[in-house]
């Protein structure tokens, strides 16, 4: 059976669905006949498959599924949206691996969903160009579910971000999870709300001018609730094992199609503006990844901006640009910055411990710090590919994200680990450099609240997760004794989750939080006016590590880029505790600085400690006026479209 996007339009609304070759699909012949649903399961390891259906209106029914070739089983049954169902494979009842909703969690029945029930109001939304993106990563559960995130959209738009990135929402066991233990890739987790609540969140975000990106996991399934091997053993490899069990076999045509359809499902049916694909190095099949990108580019409707981002420990530059993906999370930039800010050198920070300022400078100018050099944390094996030819927007820059905070034993935020002034300086650089900036939820308030690793398992699995996490830290000097490891929070303790939930913030917070918020807003406003409009065609013009008065390399640098309009953007950063000579003041007008009046020392040829200064050449005022005019026109168009939609809805 073919899979294809489907769209219905009416007065003031649009409805979207993705027809798929997997799972339950409502059949509508347009005659008003009683509803029917087609059920389809790939179960090559089974001799017989039935579908058990309970639609709440009549006695539960069992329908034998017919063989449809190549391991497929298919049946059509008289039921509609809301019906609960399970497959019975060789006598064992299992949920649908392509379930659109699991109302009673991972071991309960699946539910037939009508994807066209939701009436979209974002018909005019086409997204934003990738280079215009400023991303805000968040955890849906920590913010109160889909409705809780929706309530914060206005606040986020005022901050100056224009994309929110949701950590994975695929259905996972229990009600507390980071999302990387999902076992139903097509089913938004029920603890966050029903599918239409997620669609309403995306719809509302678009009305606020915000893109919505989704983190998806294609390299493994979680440890509880995945039944696929029971009826499709060839879904997994028997020659390769991951920390989560046998590796997914992307050599299999049905497996490739399952995940290709998943990507298009989120983009078409839920109108996500892009996907961040988790840990693609663990997939182990770059050809499949390139084919995924090509499939998305081919199938997305013309004129719509859809973005694909990877997390990739291998630093495979060949996947970016012509490889089909827009960008990669820049862990090298983060890791070297973290060493500079905190002095920590344990674990994976050891790869940046020798000359962190040089690693940081290279990651800032060229994307990857490791471009084929031996890596000390990979037993000296070469890591990475040359990346200097790629545009700066091929990299997502951050100082904090869910991993870099939550993978710490106690989930400390960066502010709890370093000097405030140094953190402001490094933050300003990330927000104004041409790489795509990413913030993690609540960092804009200078939060020191932890974000810890949390799960919701029972019994032996809960014990294994708790003990396994504590064992992970035994290689760190601070956790070599049992008592220190015992203090690491239990992921299954509900208090671990509660500690990780950001507080409700007022529209105008007081004191310290207000000062941090103003700092972020002002930096992002400068980016929006003077940097973002000219990122297309931007390229690095080099970076210099500065030297202290003794001639020794300092933890300071000046980086330069030529923007698309020919102007030069120069950023100077000093993370050291002492002033550093600045022998050649960059050309142009100072457009941002921290601390206040850092320029006074710069005029004397000195970059103060814990300071950041940005210069831009060209007519800065004219550029700013042009950007503000463009923004005003965009807001006027959005307001007119919203009025038109509301009028159509009333009619």
* pLDDT, tens digit (0-9, with 9 covering 90-100), for 12-46: 568 899 999 999 999 986 677 899 999 999 999 99
Alpha-carbon gap, residue 441 to 165, rounded angstroms: 10
Q: Which helix (H) or strand (E) holds 547?
A: strand 539-547
Give the pLDDT confidence score for residue 28 in this predicted structure: 80
> Does residue 498 carry a catalytic annotation?
no
Annotate 241-298 with DSSP letters as a single string.
EETTEEEE-TTSHHHHHHHHHHHHHHHHHS--SEEEETTGGGT--HHHHHHHHHHHHH
Averaged confidence pLDDT in the chain: 93
Its pTM stands at 0.94
- Asked whether 411 and 454 are in contact (CB, 8 A), the reply is no
Distance CA 151, CA 305 (A): 25
**What Cα–Cα distance (Å) separates residue 20 from each residue in 39, 68, 190?**
11, 15, 21
Task: Please state, in angstroms and rounded to a whole number, the distance separating the CA atoms of residues 642 and 474.
Answer: 56
Spatial CB neighbours of 202, under 8 Å, sequence gap ≥ 6 = 122, 212, 270, 271, 272
Count other C-beta atoms under 10 Å from residue 31's C-beta: 5
Say if residue 11's pLDDT is above 60: no
Torsion on CA atoms 246, 251, 254, 256, rounded to nearest 10: 90
- Asked if 379 is an active-site residue, the reply is no
| Residue 122, pLDDT score | 85
Assign 638 a pLDDT band (cuts: 50, 70, 90).
low
pLDDT at residue 644 is higher than 90: no
pLDDT digits (tens, 9 = 90+) for 214-255: 999 999 999 999 999 999 999 999 999 888 888 999 999 999
Rounded to whole angstroms, the Cα distance separating 142 from 177 reads: 10
Does residue 5 register a pLDDT over 70?
no
> Cα dist. 284→13, 170, 228, 321 in Å?
41, 22, 20, 19
Exactly one of 171, 181, 311, 555 is catalytic; which is it? 311
- Residue of 25, 215, 224, 278 marked catalytic: 278
297-353 pLDDT per residue, tens: 999 999 999 999 999 999 999 999 999 999 999 999 999 999 999 999 998 999 999
Residue 400: phi and psi, rounded to 5, are -145, 145
The number of residues making up the chain comes to: 651
Distance CA 572, CA 585 (A): 10
* Neighbour tally for 619: CB within 10 Å: 12
Furthest-apart CA atoms within the chain: distance in Å: 86
Mean pLDDT of 573-597: 97
Q: Residues 386-399: what's their mean pLDDT?
A: 99
Q: Minimum mean pLDDT among 394-398, 461-465, 628-632: which range?
A: 628-632
């Amino acid at each position: 059976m073919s899979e294809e996007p489907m769209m219905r339009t009416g007065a003031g609304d649009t409805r979207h669905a993705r027809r798929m070759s997997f799972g339950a699909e409502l059949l509508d012949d347009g005659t008003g006949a009683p509803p029917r649903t087609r059920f389809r399961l790939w179960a090559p390891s089974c001799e017989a498959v039935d579908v058990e259906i309970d639609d709440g209106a009549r006695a539960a029914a069992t329908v034998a599924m017919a063989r449809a070739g190549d391991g497929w089983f298919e049946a059509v049954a008289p039921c509609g949206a809301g019906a609960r169902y399970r497959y019975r494979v060789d006598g064992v009842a299992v949920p649908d691996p392509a379930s659109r909703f699991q109302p009673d969690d991972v071991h309960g029945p699946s539910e037939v969903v009508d994807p066209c029930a939701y009436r979209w109001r974002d018909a005019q939304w086409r997204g934003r160009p990738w280079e215009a993106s400023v991303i805000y990563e968040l955890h849906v559960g920590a913010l109160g579910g889909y409705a809780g995130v929706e309530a914060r959209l206005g606040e986020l738009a005022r901050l100056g971000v224009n994309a929110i990135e949701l950590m994975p929402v695929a259905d996972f066991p229990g009600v507390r999870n980071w999302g990387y233990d999902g076992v139903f890739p097509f089913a938004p987790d029920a603890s966050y709300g029903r599918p239409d609540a997620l669609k309403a969140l995306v719809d509302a975000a678009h009305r606020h001018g915000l893109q919505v990106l989704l983190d998806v996991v294609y390299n493994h399934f979680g440890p509880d609730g995945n039944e696929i091997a029971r009826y499709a053993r060839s879904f997994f490899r028997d020659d390769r094992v991951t920390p989560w069990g046998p590796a997914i076999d992307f050599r299999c045509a049905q497996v490739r199609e399952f995940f290709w359809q998943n990507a298009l499902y989120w983009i078409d049916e839920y109108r996500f503006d892009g996907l961040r694909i988790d840990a693609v190095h663990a997939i182990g099949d770059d050809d499949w990844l390139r084919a995924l990108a090509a499939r998305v580019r081919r199938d997305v409707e013309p004129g719509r901006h859809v973005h694909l981002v990877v997390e990739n420990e291998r630093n495979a530059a060949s996947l970016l640009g012509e490889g089909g993906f827009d960008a990669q999370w820049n862990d090298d930039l983060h890791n070297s910055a973290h060493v500079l800010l905190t002095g920590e050198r344990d674990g994976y920070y050891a790869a940046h411990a020798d000359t962190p300022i040089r690693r940081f400078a290279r990651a800032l100018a060229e994307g990857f710090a490791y471009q084929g050099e031996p890596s000390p944390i990979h037993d000296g094996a070469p890591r990475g590919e040359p990346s200097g030819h790629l545009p700066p927007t091929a990299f997502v820059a951050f100082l904090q994200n869910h991993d870099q905070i939550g993978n710490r034993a106690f989930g400390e935020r960066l502010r709890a680990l370093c000097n405030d002034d140094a953190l402001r300086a490094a933050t300003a650089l990330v927000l104004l450099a041409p790489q795509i900036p990413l913030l993690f939820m609540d960092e804009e308030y200078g939060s020191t609240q932890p974000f810890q690793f949390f799960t919701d398992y029972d019994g032996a699995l809960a014990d294994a997760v708790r003990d396994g996490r504590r064992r992970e830290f035994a290689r760190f000097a601070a956790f070599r004794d049992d008592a220190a490891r015992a203090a690491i929070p239990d992921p299954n303790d509900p208090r671990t989750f509660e500690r990780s939930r950001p507080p409700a913030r007022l529209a105008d917070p007081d004191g310290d939080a207000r000062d941090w918020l103003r700092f972020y807003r002002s930096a992002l406003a400068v980016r929006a006016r003077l940097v973002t409009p000219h990122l297309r065609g931007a390229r690095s013009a080099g970076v210099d590590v500065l030297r202290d008065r003794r001639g020794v390399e300092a933890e300071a640098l000046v980086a330069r880029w030529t923007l698309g309009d020919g102007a030069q953007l120069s950023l100077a950063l000093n993370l050291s505790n002492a002033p550093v000579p600045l022998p050649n003041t960059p050309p142009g007008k100072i457009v941002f600085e921290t601390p206040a009046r850092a320029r006074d020392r710069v005029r004397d040829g000195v970059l103060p400690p814990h300071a950041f200064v940005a210069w831009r050449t060209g007519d800065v005022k004219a550029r700013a006026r042009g950007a503000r005019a463009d923004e005003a026109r965009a807001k006027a168009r959005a307001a007119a479209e919203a009025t038109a939609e509301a009028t159509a809805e009333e009619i």
